[in-house]
Structure 1
Amino acid sequence: MAQSPTSGAVKALQLELKKIVSEPVEGFRVKLLDDEKLFEWEVAIFGPPGTLYEGGYFKAIMKFPHDYPYAPPSVRFVNKMWHPNVYENGDVCISILHPPVDDPQSGEEPSERWNPTQNVRTILLSIISLLNEPNTFSPANVDASVMYRKWKDSRGKDKEYETLIRKQVLQTRDEAEKDGVKVPMTLQEYCVSTAPKNEPNDVDFCDYDYGDDCDDDDDEDNMYYDDDDDSGNEES
């Protein structure tokens, strides 16, 4: 017998959707796949400027469990995504989407997994960060992980990974045009946000990834290679 959604889950999703639609933020946009299906959202993630994904328009489906926010949603890209932390079927593998259970074998700290204080915005900002800083220690796509390591270790001289990602980005342009979406191409365009500025606990992606000044264009090579360590995202 199918589980019915709780009233708490319905209310939580209604409030989140209303807030994101009325106060859009940088890096992504969301909408319902069907007005009658509150538990399935279509997500569009824009590739951050200054990264291999610059100019990309990546669509995904986010499905929420009926006991949300006590259990995490799932995220699956509908575009073809070649990435160390995305399975071949498009499913995203990231700690924040893992249930809050004690699993010593995973190598993840409980604090890195899902908890009810997380929300759609924190999930999507984590995925955006993951695009340019994949976790290769326990990849969902081993071949993509190996290719990424070759690209990074060669400091961009091995072009196979970069060429493949650039090709995928170009393929998304047609989808953006069909949807009538203008993809942000500069930091200034990307960092424009109409979210209220009086929320001290709200993390701004531009501040987090690019420094306090969104107009500060760092050298592109430094963006790609300034840190030989992988991101803090934990194992799949």
Structure 2
Amino acid sequence: MYSLFDGLARIKFPIDYPYSPPAFRFLTKMWHPNIYENGDVCISILHPPVDDPQSGELPSERWNPTQNVRTILLSVISLLNEPNTFSPANVDASVMYRKWRDSKGKDREYAEIIRKQVLATKADAERDGVKVPTTLAEYCVRTRAPPADEGSNLFYDDYYDDEDLEDEDEDDDGDCCYDDEDDSGTEES
């Protein structure tokens, strides 16, 4: 499966953020079961924190003020890689995705649409001077805990040091983010 969706997106924050969720919309055309034709992403954590028994969502799955841009992006990335076909925003994409998944990649219609969209967005990125990651190693950023003496001065829980990462990459066996193998169904990403 083509797990690296490249595209432009916009996050729009309401005046009462963080008490209300932001809106997340892809500006790039996306063929995905959980993305509406206009680019809006259908994901539980971006739904207002109201009690809606008809939605099938637990209140704990909806927006709460502890969410932040990082948790939103992680949720969107997860959704892109593992569509929720039980609650599709794009029924046609959902049917096509399930057909592809159930055929174990033999039905190529869904994968071909995604491949064409990824290639188109890569061309857009190159025109804009943006390098699009093409491997898992390029796509991932390593994190580690800060040294004990600096921890109290940091606002975020991640400590990034590009120089140290470059040195570590030379000693690595290439696995930067995951120890498990790609289970997406194809060799391409």
Common fold by TM > 0.5: yes
Indicate whether 1:126 and 2:75 are aligned. yes
1:89-143 Cα deviation digits (max 9, x unpaired): 1111000100001011111011100000000110011001111100011110000
Displacement of 1:182: 1.2
List structure 1 runs of 4+ shifted beyond 2 angstroms.
195-199, 212-217, 222-225
Q: What letter corresponds to residue 172 of structure 1 in structure 2?
A: T
Name the CA distance, whole Å, in 1 between partners of 2:125 and 2:18: 31
Indicate whether 1:214 and 2:162 are aligned. no
1:185-224 matched pairs, under 5 angstroms: 185-193=134-142, 197-198=145-146, 214=177, 216=179, 218=181, 220=182, 222-224=183-185
**Which of 51, 69, 75 is the equivalent residue of 1:102?**
51
1:139-175 Cα deviation digits (max 9, x unpaired): 1000000000000011111110001001100000122
RMSD of aligned residue pairs (Cα, Å): 2.3
Identity in percent: 70
TM-score normalised according to structure 1 size: 0.63
Find the residue that maps to 1:147 and give its secondary structure: helix
Q: What letter corresponds to residue 121 of structure 1 in structure 2?
A: R
Name the CA distance, whole Å, in 1 between partners of 2:72 and 2:112: 27
Displacement of 1:196: 6.0
1:25-48 Cα deviation digits (max 9, x unpaired): xxxxxxxxxxxxxxxxxxxxxxxx
Corresponding position of 2:172: none
8 Å Cα contact 1:76/1:92 also seen in 2: yes
**Which of 115, 126, 131 is the equivalent residue of 1:177?**
126
Find the residue that maps to 1:58 and give its secondary structure: coil
8 Å Cα contact 1:65/1:73 also seen in 2: yes
1:31-90 Cα deviation digits (max 9, x unpaired): xxxxxxxxxxxxxxxxxxxx4133x42111111100000000001111110000000011
8 Å Cα contact 1:53/1:166 also seen in 2: no
Displacement of 1:213: 5.6
TM-score normalised according to structure 2 size: 0.78
Greater C-alpha radius of gyration: 2
Q: What letter corresponds to residue 15 of structure 2 in structure 1?
A: H
8 Å Cα contact 1:176/1:183 also seen in 2: yes
Displacement of 1:186: 1.7
Unaligned runs of 5+ in 1: 1-50, 204-211, 226-236
Corresponding position of 2:12: 63
Find the residue that maps to 1:57 and give its secondary structure: coil
Change (3 A) 1:217 1:180: farther
Q: What letter corresponds to residue 122 of structure 1 in structure 2?
A: T
- Alignment: residue pair count: 162
Change (3 A) 1:197 1:182: farther
Corresponding position of 1:111: 60
